[in-house]
Amino acid sequence: MSTHVRHPIWLPALRPADARTFASLYAVESFARATISSVIPIQAYEILHNEQIVSILYTIVSLLGLSVTLFMPMLIRRFARRWIYTAGCLMLALGSVFFVTHTLPGQLAGMLCRVMGASALSITLNLYIMDHIRKTEFMQAESLRMAWSMFAWTGGPTLGIFLYTRFGIYAAHGAVVVFALALLALFWTYRLGDNPSIRPGKSRPANPLANIGRFITQPRLRLAWLIAFGRSCFWTTFFVYGPLFMVITGEGKLAGGLLVSAGNALLFMAIFWGRAGKRFGGRRTMTFAYFAMSAMLLAAGGVGAAAPLLTAVFLLCGALFTIALDALGSTAFMRSVRSYEKAQMAAVYRTYLDFSELTPPLVYSVVLTFFGLGSVFVTLGILAAFCGFFTWRYLPKSF
C-alpha cells in the first residue's frame, strides 16, 4: 500500500548509557595512551641523548598541557561536547604521526598532541558521566571504569615496547592510531549527547583565571582536588622512582618493569574498593586508604636499599590502597560540583594531574640533596598522611 510506512530495521536501538558504556570507552582510551607510555621517554632519550634535557622537555610539555586544560571550557562552550571528544581521539592519532618523524620538533609536537588529546577526552568523559550516572552510583561506576582499564595499563606498555623493539617505530605508533580510531568509532556508536536539561548559566565565568578563583572559593572542590592530587603523586612517584630504585639497588631493569606491571595489574581491585565504599562509606574508605598508603610508604622508605625486594612489596601494598582512591576519589568532585558550571570546574579539577607531574620531581630534587633515595617514599608518605587527615576532617560524613 502506498500509505504503508516501513521503518528502518537496520538501525539498532541503543540502551541508555550506563557504567559499562563509560568503562568501555575509558578502557579503549587507556590502550591508546598506555601502549606508548614507555616508548615516549625512550624515544626522547634517543633523540636528545641527555637525561636532564629530557626532563626539561617533559616540564615544558606539562606546563603547556596545563594551559590547554584551563582553556578547555572555552572550547566546550564554543563547540558541541561530542566534537571536543572527537578532536581528542584525532589528537592522539595525530600525535603518533608526529612521533614517527623521530625528530625533536616531531617529538615535541607529538607529546603536545598527546597531552591535548588526553585533556579533551578526560574532561568530556567526566562531563558525560556526570550527565548520565546518578550520584548514588558514582562509586560503582568509577570502580568499574578503573577495573576495566587494568588490562590496558598492565599489557599496554609491554605491547608498546615489544612492537618498538621488534618491529620498529611505525608498528608501535601505528597501534596507537588503531586504538584511537577504534575509540572514535565506539564513541559515535554509543551516540552520546549532552544532557538537554542542563544548560550553562549566562553569568558563568569563561576566563580561565576566573574559573580558578571560582573553584578555590568552594571548600569541597578544593578537598576533591587535594584527594586527587595526593593519589596522582603516588603514581608519578611509583612509575618513575620505583623502577629507578630497582636499578640503583642492583635488581635490574626487568625488576623495575615487573614492579610497574604488578602495580597496574592491581587495578582489578577497584571493584572491591567500590563495594567497600558503598558498604562503609566513601569518607571512611578513602581515609583508611590514605593512612594505610602512608604507612606502606614510610615502611618502604625505612627499609630502603637494605632489602630492595621488601621495599618493592611495600610499594605494591601502597599501590593497592591508592587504587581505592582511584576508584572513589573522583566521586568527591562529581558529587560536589554544581550542574551549571561542570565544564569550567572539571577543567580546573583536572589540573591535579599536571601539578602531580610537576611538583614531586621538584620536591624530591631538594630532598635527595640531603638524603638517600628512600627519602622520596618517606616524603610521599607524609603527604599521604596529610591528605588522609583532611579527608577525614572535612569530607562530609554522609559521603
The pLDDT value given to residue 100: 94
The pLDDT value given to residue 211: 82
CA 275 from chain centre, in angstroms, equals 21
Residue 108 or residue 262, greater confidence: 108
CA distance linking residue 361 with residue 272, whole number of Å: 32
Rounded mean pLDDT of 256-268?
82
Please check the confidence at residue 332 and state whether its pLDDT lies above 80.
yes
The pLDDT value given to residue 391: 93
- The CB density around residue 239, as the number of other CB atoms within 10 Å, is 18
Average model confidence (pLDDT) across the chain: 84
Helix, strand, coil percent content, the chain, rounded in steps of 5: 80, 0, 20
Percent of residues, the chain, with pLDDT higher than 90: 34
Q: What is the pLDDT of residues 58-90, one digit of tens each?
A: 778 888 888 888 888 788 788 888 899 999 999
Query: C-alpha grid cell for residue 73?
Result: 571550557
CA distance linking residue 234 with residue 240, whole number of Å: 10
Least confident range of 50-54, 196-200, 227-231: 196-200
Rounded mean pLDDT of 26-34?
91
Instruction: Confirm if 239 and 260 have CB atoms less than 8 A apart.
Output: yes
Q: What is the pLDDT of residues 352-388, one digit of tens each?
A: 888 888 888 778 878 888 888 888 899 999 999 999 9
CA distance linking residue 314 with residue 376, whole number of Å: 14
CA distance linking residue 284 with residue 399, whole number of Å: 9
